[in-house]
Structure 1
Amino acid sequence: MKILLVEDEAKLAGFIADALNQAGHNCDHLDDGTKGMEAAMVNDYDLLLLDLMLPSMNGFEVIKALRSFNNETPVIILSALNDTENVIKGLDLGAIDYLKKPFDLEELLARVRAVLRRSLAQGSLKLQVEDLKVDLLSREVSRNNVNIILSNREFALLEYLLSNPNKVVTKSQILEKVWDINFDPGSNVVEVHLYQLRKKMDRGFAVELIHTVIGRGYVLKGEVTKG
C-alpha cells in the first residue's frame, strides 16, 4: 500500500516509516497538517496515518477538509489525545480507526493489515494472468507453479501493473504510486527495478507478460482473473 504519514514527532515518524517500509508498504512522511492535507488531495494514497496535534492545521481539520472535497482516503488517527471525546470526534469526522499513543508498532501494522484486507475484500485477494498467480495478502507469486521471490519494491511494481492490465503506465505514474513524493524523477530507479522484475517474471517462461512501450512506458498484457 502507498501510505502517507503526517506526524511532527521526527523520531516516532522515523520508527513508523521504517516499520511500514520493511513490511512492504511505501510510506511518505510529512510533519505539517496543511502540507499533509495538500499531499493527500493530489496523490493517490491507500491510507493516511494522521497525528492530531500538528503545525498549521490539526488532524481534525485535515479530515474535515478531505471529506469536504469528497476525498475518501481511509484515515487512522495516531494521537496522545486519548480521551473518549476526542476518539468519538475523530471517528465521527470520518476516521476508520484511532490508535492511542504510545502504541506498539506491531499493533499499528496489524491495524494497517486490517485496512488492506478491507480494501482487498472489495476486489479479490488472488489474481492470475496466464500462468502467473499472485496472492496480494500473503505476497506469494508464482509462474507455472514455480515460486518467484520478489523484493518489496518489485512486488509493489507488480501490484501496480496488475491494477492496470493492458494499459500503458508511464514512469511518472509509477514513481507517484510506487515511490515517495520527493523522489527524483530523473533517476533510473524505475528502469532498474522493472528490469529485475521482468528478469524474474518473464525469463524462462513461454509468454512475456511485461512489455516496454518505447517513448510511453510499460504495460502488463493479459487477462487478469480473480479468485
Structure 2
Amino acid sequence: MKILILEDDQALQRQLADTLLAENYEVDTRSDGDDGLFMAREYEYDLAIIDIGLPKISGIDVIKSLRAENNTLPILILTARSSWKDKVHGLKAGADDYLVKPFEIEELLARLEALLRRASGYSSHVIQQGPIKLDTQTQELWVDDLEVDLTAFEYKLLEYFLRHPKRIVSKSALMDYLYDEESDRDVNVLEVLIGRLRRKLDPDNHIKPIETLRGRGYRFAIKAS
C-alpha cells in the first residue's frame, strides 16, 4: 500500500513516515500543498494523510481541488485546531476522516486501516477473489487453500490488483505504484513480475486472473474455469 503524507512539521512528517514504513507501507512525503497536489494528481496512492495548515496551498484547498477533479483518493486530515468548525470544513471539502494533534500512533494506524478497508469494499483485512485469498496483515496468500510464497514486489502488485478489481491500470501507473521516485524503472521487469504472479496464482491457467489489454495495461478479473 502506498501512502502520501502532506505535513510541513518536519519532525511529525519523519515520525509518520518511519511508522508507516515499519508497518510495510510505501511512503512519499511533501511539505507544502503545491507539491502535494502535484503528487496526488500524477501518481497512484492508496491513501493520503493531509495536514490542514499547509503552506502555499492549504490542505483544505488541496482536498477541494482533488474532489473537483473526481479524484476519490481516501483522505485523512490532520489538524492542530480543536474547533469543531475546522473538522467540519475538512469533511465538507471531501476528507474521509480526521485526527486532531496530538494523537496516538496506534489510533492513526487504526484509522488508516479502516479507511483502506472501506475504500476497497472489504470489512476485514482478508481480501478474497475466487480461489485467491490474501491476508493484508500477515501478508500470507492462499490459492485453493494452499499457501503460496510471494516476494515483496509480488505482494505489492497482488494487493493492488485485489483492491482494484476490474480496473484497467496502465504499465506506467503500476510502475509509479511499485517504485519510489528515485528508482530505476524498466517495463520489462514489470512484465516479468506479472508473468511470475500469473504462474503462482493460476498454475493450470484456468481462472486467468490478470488480463493484458494491448495498449492500455492490465486488469484483474477472475474468470470462470
The one-letter amino acid of 1:9's match is D
- Specify the alignment match of 2:222 in structure 1: 223
The verdict on how the C-alpha distance between 1:104 and 1:190 changes in structure 2, with shifts beyond 3 A counting, is: farther
Mapping for residues 154-165 of structure 1, pairs under 5 Å: 154-162=154-162, 163=164
The verdict on how the C-alpha distance between 1:18 and 1:192 changes in structure 2, with shifts beyond 3 A counting, is: farther
- Specify the alignment match of 2:120 in structure 1: 120
Say how many residue pairs are matched. Answer: 220
The verdict on how the C-alpha distance between 1:104 and 1:68 changes in structure 2, with shifts beyond 3 A counting, is: same
Deviation of 1:68 after TM superposition, in Å, equals 2.6
1:34-88 CA deviation, whole Å, 9 max, x = no partner? 1111221233322211012222111122122222323232221112122222122
The verdict on how the C-alpha distance between 1:6 and 1:71 changes in structure 2, with shifts beyond 3 A counting, is: same
TM-score scaled by length of structure 1: 0.74
Deviation of 1:186 after TM superposition, in Å, equals 5.2
Distance 1:166 1:42 in 2: 17
The one-letter amino acid of 2:175's match is L
The one-letter amino acid of 1:126's match is I
Distance 1:100 1:169 in 2: 37
TM-score scaled by length of structure 2: 0.75
Deviation of 1:190 after TM superposition, in Å, equals 4.8
Q: Kindly, what percent of the aligned residue pairs are identical? A: 34
Distance 2:83 2:220 in 1: 51
Gaps of 5+ in 1: none
Mapping for residues 96-111 of structure 1, pairs under 5 Å: 96-111=96-111
- Specify the alignment match of 1:147 in structure 2: 147
Mapping for residues 47-58 of structure 1, pairs under 5 Å: 47-58=47-58
Contact 1:117 1:137 in 2 (8 A): no
- Specify the alignment match of 2:178 in structure 1: 178
The verdict on how the C-alpha distance between 1:120 and 1:222 changes in structure 2, with shifts beyond 3 A counting, is: closer
- Specify the alignment match of 1:77 in structure 2: 77
The verdict on how the C-alpha distance between 1:62 and 1:161 changes in structure 2, with shifts beyond 3 A counting, is: closer
Distance 1:102 1:192 in 2: 45
Distance 1:98 1:80 in 2: 11
Deviation of 1:22 after TM superposition, in Å, equals 2.9
SS of the counterpart of 1:223? coil
Deviation of 1:183 after TM superposition, in Å, equals 3.5
- Specify the alignment match of 1:23 in structure 2: 23
The one-letter amino acid of 1:85's match is K
Query: 160-169 or 47-56, which moves further after superposition?
Result: 160-169
Contact 2:51 2:79 in 1 (8 A): yes
Distance 1:27 1:47 in 2: 10
Deviation of 1:142 after TM superposition, in Å, equals 1.3
- Specify the alignment match of 1:4 in structure 2: 4
The verdict on how the C-alpha distance between 1:149 and 1:70 changes in structure 2, with shifts beyond 3 A counting, is: same
Deviation of 1:188 after TM superposition, in Å, equals 8.2
Gaps of 5+ in 2: none
SS of the counterpart of 1:114? helix
